[in-house]
Amino acid sequence: MLKNILLLLFATFYCSFIVHAENVIDISSKKDGIIVLQGFHASPEGEQGIIYSASIKLPAFKRGNCMIRDKRKWPQTGNGMFGAVFGNSALPLVSKKSIMPGMKGVAHEATMLLLELPGNEYLCVLPLTSELSMGWLYLEDNGSFSVNSGTFGTAPVDGDIPVLAWSRSKDIYQAINNAWVKAFENKQIKKITNKRDDKNYPEVFTYLGWCSWEQYKKKIDDKLLLGTVDKINRSDIPIRWVLVDDGHQDASPDLMELVSFNPDPVKFPVGWQTLMAKRNEGNIKWFGLWHCFEGLWHNININNKLVGFENDLMPSRDGNALIVKDQLTSIDKFYKTMIETVKQQGFDFVKIDVQSSMVNEYEGHANPVQTSIQSSEALEKYCEKELNGKLINCMAQSPANMFAQKFSSVTRVSLDYQLGNKAKAVSHIHQSYMTTLFQGQSVWPDHDMFHSNDPVAGHIMAVSKAMSGGPVYLSDAADNFVPGHIYPLYYSDGKLLRPLAPAVPLPNSIFDDFLTDHNLYYVIAPLANQCAAIVAYNLNYPGDTTLEGKISPSDYRFAPAMVQPYPGQWASPDEGLVVYDWAAGKGQRFDQDYTFPLTGFSDKLLLVCPVKDGWAVVGRSDKFLSPSAVTDIKTSQTELKVTLAEGGPLVIWSKLGKPYLDGVDFVDIGNGFWKCQLPMNEKMLRIKR
């Protein structure tokens, strides 16, 4: 007993000592590891409630990228985390005014650091968050990095505090994966989060959807939504779900403070009854509802109508509104009521916004990080119970949110998409894929809604949504859909063709500054049957520069970058690969670099498929992710058996000349590629030669 008391006293003294001493975490020569402060005790210091801080000694590196925020109050990032690249020193990043078109400057706080080291190695450094304290990297004025752990509160902290995980590998995706695995295995973190592959992905998000926000903003009412649903049902676009976004709430006159969980009585005089009656009239099967994490943008109105919450609310920071008391009973009661009300009103899922601002709302209280995480736990618990986990997280890029998504499997990875805004579109594309490197280990990325009729980015946005693997939803007025941009996304019933894992940048693109290096930006995703999709983007801005693009057969190995568990790089098939240029409708053997020009803000979708027994199957050529339409392939030297999810135009490659299928005409499209048109109900075929 005496021995245990002495050990506890030592641990407490030691941890208390390292808070105030000059700390250095040396990972310059260590392959991987995790720092957990055992039996930790400390009192928070300063506005951010810092309980631990240490500089990080890094190895020499060739270039780097850190997920850093724009200039908002930390950790109220909105969705404003960006991949910031630098050379062999991060010092130039300190003085940069912007790293992205439309970005509001560069701040100091970051959530993940990636370094390319000499000797073809990579290092991933990941700050950690648990229920007691949130971790983040800090870019010092001299270009070095430190790690902070803080509560943004005033109460002492007692417990085990995970601080930092890191891993190095010759495979950058292995390094990222290993660092996250160390986090997921920590019992404090495992309590509040989980890896993406261990979560349920809701059926609703495997279908095409629609959201009211970008088209109508807050100007929605019963008449508009009913009219939109009727037009959607009369259209040829099989939209299966509708999300009612901001603007429906019973709120203060400025629409910024919540009054109740009911809809605005003027805009929706009979509540949600008429809208819910539209379910299954046409294609629409699911309805979703938007809410703010804290009630509404400026919290809860003082003169609210939340029945039974008289003892569960307290004044907000500015005293002009109310927030939920930072005690478990009140937190649980609030989210229980919110989500149960959503279900009672007839909705099938929720989108919860403004999550990253909660820590700031409780700043100066006992432990705002703990309050935020407990709120996320309550939200997730009731979404799981009442809505079978159907939740989209939004403005949730703070570590206190990203490390508190135990059940939910979808989170926004970008700033809002904006119709016709080229600068925003450029940033949106880059940010969506870059952020997925960080967030995609625990969730599927939501690239946000888009307009198919966007004259600047309609096609580009459609392709990026397909590559994300996450929800795909439109926001056009229902009589303005552009079918040509939407049709390649889905089957006839609105079900989406999806990759096996989210698309992320290829290694060189992780470290390229496209604004100054004038290189194309490349992303990759794994598809069914060991195929891959690579998209090249010309993001140079402003102007309409023409850049020469190039992909190499060696790029194929990176396709499973985000597959869980990570299988390592794909080996090149014994018989090699073919590459199919989707827009051009042509392909070739992929035994050397495939080159192409891209002018202005544009993309190039390339499908890479393995050759076996002299056959390669591209799949349904009318769909962006053509190989994903093929559910099974069996080959021999003389025969190819293909099973499709749905009939349509089929493209294959044959080494030994024209294939044959009774009653089907194969058209030669060059370089050994052949195309035929199959009836919709033709799903299984046996091709000979």
What pLDDT digit, counting tens, does each position of 446-505 carry? Answer: 999 999 999 999 999 999 999 999 999 999 999 999 999 999 999 999 999 999 999 999
Is 137's pLDDT higher than 70? yes
What pLDDT shows up at residue 6?
Answer: 34
What pLDDT shows up at residue 610?
Answer: 98
Residue 685 binned pLDDT confidence (cut-offs 50, 70, 90): confident
Average pLDDT, stretch 668-675?
98
Mean pLDDT across the chain: 94
Is 397's pLDDT higher than 60? yes
- Closest-CA residue to 432 (of 448, 453, 449): 448
What are the residue boundaries of the structural domains of the chain, listed by start? 2-191, 207-489, 504-688
Provide the residue count of the chain.
689
What pLDDT shows up at residue 72?
Answer: 77
Instruction: List residues bridging with 668 in a β-sheet.
Output: 674
Distance CA 347, CA 276 (A): 8
Cα dihedral across residues 341, 346, 348, 352: positive or negative: negative
pLDDT in tens, 323-348: 999 999 999 999 999 999 999 999 99
Q: What is the DSSP letter of 403?
A: T
Residue 104 binned pLDDT confidence (cut-offs 50, 70, 90): low
What lies within 8 Å, CB to CB, of 564 at 6+ separation is 177, 195, 196, 197, 441, 501
What pLDDT shows up at residue 78?
Answer: 81
Distance CA 15, CA 161 (A): 10
Is 107's pLDDT higher than 90? no
Distance CA 516, CA 526 (A): 29
- 3-state secondary structure at position 374: helix
Residue 16 binned pLDDT confidence (cut-offs 50, 70, 90): very low
Give the amino acid at 404: A
- Cα angle for residues 65, 67, 72 (degrees, 5° grid): 135
Q: What is the pTM of this model?
A: 0.95
What pLDDT shows up at residue 10?
Answer: 34
- Closest-CA residue to 580 (of 555, 632, 616): 616
Query: 35: which 2 tokens?
Result: 């720092």
User: How far from the centroid of its chain's Cα atoms is residue 244's Cα?
Assistant: 21
Instruction: List residues bridging with 119 in a β-sheet.
Output: none
Distance CA 656, CA 74 (A): 61
Average pLDDT, stretch 600-622?
98
Residue 2 binned pLDDT confidence (cut-offs 50, 70, 90): very low
The CATH code of domain 207-489 reads: 3.20.20.70
Distance CA 413, CA 437 (A): 10
What pLDDT shows up at residue 22?
Answer: 55
What pLDDT shows up at residue 160?
Answer: 97
Is 7's pLDDT higher than 60? no
Distance CA 57, CA 15 (A): 20
What pLDDT shows up at residue 660?
Answer: 92
Average pLDDT, stretch 630-634?
96
- Cα angle for residues 355, 359, 365 (degrees, 5° grid): 145
Q: Residues 237, 486: contact at Cβ < 8 Å?
A: yes
- 3-state secondary structure at position 12: helix
What percent of the chain is helix, strand and coil (3-state, nearest 5)? Answer: 25, 30, 45
Residue 667 binned pLDDT confidence (cut-offs 50, 70, 90): very high
Q: CA separation (Å) from 228 to 96, 173, 420? A: 44, 43, 22
Distance CA 203, CA 511 (A): 35
Is 20's pLDDT higher than 70? no
pLDDT in tens, 246-297: 999 999 999 999 999 999 999 999 999 999 999 999 999 999 999 999 999 9
What pLDDT shows up at residue 21?
Answer: 37
Residue entry with tokens 């949106």 = 428
User: Which CATH architecture is the domain 504-688 placed in?
Assistant: Sandwich (2.60)
- Closest-CA residue to 559 (of 535, 582, 594): 535
Cα dihedral across residues 295, 299, 305, 311: positive or negative: positive
- Closest-CA residue to 512 (of 520, 524, 501): 520
Distance CA 502, CA 432 (A): 11
